[in-house]
Structure 1
Amino acid sequence: MFQNVSNDSVLGYAQSQEQPLNILHIEDSAADQALARLSLKRGGLACELTAVDSLQAVSDALKTRGFDLILADYHLSGFTALDVWELVRARPAHPPFVLLSGAIGEAAAVDIMRLGISDYLLKDQITSLPRVVKRALEVHEARLARHRAMQELAASEKRLAELTEHLHTSIEQERSNISREIHDDIGGSLTAVKFDLAWISRNSPEGSMREHARSALEMLEHALGASQRIMQNLRPPVLDQGLVAAVQWLAQDFERRTGIAARLRTSREHMEVEPALQVVVYRTAQESLTNIHKHAQASRVELDLSDHEGFLTLEVTDNGMGLGPQARDKPQSFGLRGLSERARTVQGWLDVSSQAGKGTSIILTIPLADTQKT
């Protein structure tokens, strides 16, 4: 099927051509070989044609040099252009393939092009060959550019995923370090001060000094409670007791703080899960419960934690107002995106199911390694 090419496009291509085109011409008629060469020359294309007339010669030519384009008759002695195409398409980054024939109908040519052949031209229209060749080369270059762009995008996404994983790992490590420092240094110092103030309070006579000591003790209790909450948020010690215990503590703490009923179901009482996976599941449950408290207007939350069939799965479901498409796509809505990126760092994925007025379900799925104990 011949596609028209604008004069500007053809002119631009002719101006950009610096080296002669290497064309493999598969044709068993010397007269037709000469006609093709003459037509390309008259069209202003500098070409070097390598003419072959057997499948073996085609194979040998493809092995010995690179070609910018393959031009083939359909019916040849002992084989057809389809046989040639099978040879060509198996080669990586193969050149465009143009069919030039006088013995094939348009319907058959269209069917052939669906196989991946670039274009076709009837021999009685051979004066249009330069345009068809230029068009095939331009389309081929556009496809190569698109392929390169996709490869660059994939590489960029891979680098971004690696950076995200590194950032999450670094953040969790820093959280753990800060939590340990609060526990060892600040917590220890505050506890020592508490003992001293308690001694002062017990041994001071009734009056302003004892009142000041009692007031200071109350403030100190508040500071100790705040340091405990900060440590829990940074790196909860309950994770050392296992993933099930940590998620159970989250559900109980959520219900105590918010008054929203929270129920946890698990596939077993204890799951031996790698620390990196534990953190991802814990943070997903934590962020999901935080979002429910802030936005869902729910009265009930159900958490389901399972490690069946080689997958670690956490599902957090509420009966709240649900999420609309606008809420998910808000420019500054990073909660769900952050959870999705966190899931990707452990080769997992996040699914969100929601209907207006019927609640929301957030499902985290992480494949477990073959060596993971369940």
Structure 2
Amino acid sequence: MSTPTAERHLRILHIEDSELDHQLIVAQLRRAGLSIEVQRVDSLLELESALRQPWDAIISDYNLPGFSGLLVLDMLRQRQYLMPFVLVSGEIGEDTAVAAMRTGASDYLLKNNLARLAPALLHAIEACESERARVAADAELLKSKQRLHELAGHLQTSVEMERAAIAREIHDDVGGSLTALKFDLAWIARHAKDAAVQQRVNSALETVSYAIEASQRIMHNLRPAILEQGLVAAVQWMANRFERRTGILTTTRTSHEQIQLPPGVPLVAYRTAQEALTNISKHANASKVNIELSVDSGVLTLEVSDNGQGIAPGDLAKARSFGIRGLHERAATVGGWVDLSSSSRGTSLILSVPLQAEAAAQFGDDHSHTEEHDPSAWGSA
């Protein structure tokens, strides 16, 4: 529990060129019952030296030899010192007082009315300590948010790496075994003479063929190998597959046929489009979808829009809207953000990712991957 301001020992820096006025102010504060230690300075050189020490508050005259109280306030602001500052002057105009308060002064008063000095000083110290606590809390909140973003990015990367590992196992083990089984069944079908055996073998071949197709579909969902052909090709392939599967007319437009992107960005864009199309097929009741992919002014933009029934505002604010939150967190892993807008005429989801200048300028036929390690990139199958 903090000590009440009036009961603790206060270190005060007094900027004053008159020794008599200094003694009057010190006497006034001690008469008010404050335990204080006061140091007087009257030059910029002394002030520079004194500011290296810790102080509970600063009391300053306005007119000083070669400088003013406003100059002191500017010095404190430039150094980002959050310090209680009470301006005391023999005479101070209203405009000057207003300028001082805007510059950061806690309070101001005249030297012929020092009775208000102690309460004003205590109030300034308490207000400043509250502000320091708020600033510290904001800084801690910012650190906490940053740690959460880092954790979300780590989890996203871990999920993608696990998906890649599972896809490789399905391809190598399950896919290989099913293919071998299909060859064996085909051999039996060619050599079997009994009609009943032929019928059962053909039925088994159909089942195995379906299992192979299912395993391929699962691998595509787990590990979008199409990304090796570039983001544009992957999005176009996804759009065509979505249109065939759902019957929803899907149009894709792009500013470049091929785009060279920094590591991690293609996968984020692909997963964002995939999540958007999944939500459209489940909830939008749409008949038309537009996908636009472009790079302009060093920013990659992916927009997926539909003409469906839209999203209710309450749905966006649901505590368990993890899909939408996941899109925001995924975008943040590559320094991007997601904008979602919806009305009764449809929904639009926009992913924006600022790119490095050199990466944004590289377009053409070169699809060679960077040598930099990308923890979310796919390994070779």
TM-score between the two structures when normalised by the length of structure 2: 0.89
* Partner of residue 49, structure 1: 38
1:371 aligns to what SS in structure 2? helix
TM-score between the two structures when normalised by the length of structure 1: 0.91
1:315 aligns to what SS in structure 2? strand
Between stretches 239-248 and 294-303, larger displacement belongs to: 239-248
- Say whether 1:230 aligns with 2:218: yes
Per the TM alignment, residue 261 of structure 1 is displaced from its structure 2 partner at its CA by 0.3
Change beyond 3 A, Cα 1:233–1:108:
same
Change beyond 3 A, Cα 1:11–1:227:
closer
Change beyond 3 A, Cα 1:103–1:254:
same
* Partner of residue 106, structure 2: 118
The count of corresponding residues between Structure 1 and Structure 2 is: 360
Find the partner of 1:168 among 143, 150, 156: 156
- Say whether 1:145 aligns with 2:136: no
2:292 alignment partner AA: D
Per the TM alignment, residue 281 of structure 1 is displaced from its structure 2 partner at its CA by 0.9
Sequence identity of aligned pairs in percent?
52
Per the TM alignment, residue 78 of structure 1 is displaced from its structure 2 partner at its CA by 4.3
1:51 aligns to what SS in structure 2? strand
| Whole-Å separation in 1 of the counterparts to 2:350 and 2:3 | 56
Per the TM alignment, residue 51 of structure 1 is displaced from its structure 2 partner at its CA by 1.6
Change beyond 3 A, Cα 1:50–1:275:
closer
Per the TM alignment, residue 159 of structure 1 is displaced from its structure 2 partner at its CA by 1.3
* Partner of residue 334, structure 2: 346
- Say whether 1:257 aligns with 2:249: no
Aligned-CA RMSD value: 1.9
Give structure 1 stretches of 5+ with no counterpart.
1-9
Between stretches 49-58 and 273-282, larger displacement belongs to: 49-58
Between stretches 337-346 and 197-206, larger displacement belongs to: 197-206
Contact 1:75 1:103 in 2 (8 A): no
* Partner of residue 293, structure 2: 305
Matches within 5 A, 1:1-374: 12-15=4-7, 17=8, 20-63=9-52, 65-106=53-94, 108-355=96-343, 357-372=344-359, 373-374=362-363
Higher relative contact order (CA 8 A, sep 6+): 2
Per the TM alignment, residue 77 of structure 1 is displaced from its structure 2 partner at its CA by 4.0
Please list the CA deviations of residues 337-359 of structure 1 after superposition, one character each: whole Å capped at 9, or x if unmatched. Answer: 2111111110111112222x211
1:368 alignment partner AA: L
Contact 1:59 1:87 in 2 (8 A): no
| Whole-Å separation in 1 of the counterparts to 2:45 and 2:275 | 65
| Whole-Å separation in 2 of the counterparts to 1:138 and 1:47 | 16
| Whole-Å separation in 2 of the counterparts to 1:341 and 1:325 | 20
Q: Which structure 1 residue ranges, 4+ long, deviate > 3 Å from structure 2? A: 76-79, 105-108
| Whole-Å separation in 2 of the counterparts to 1:349 and 1:294 | 24
| Whole-Å separation in 2 of the counterparts to 1:237 and 1:288 | 19
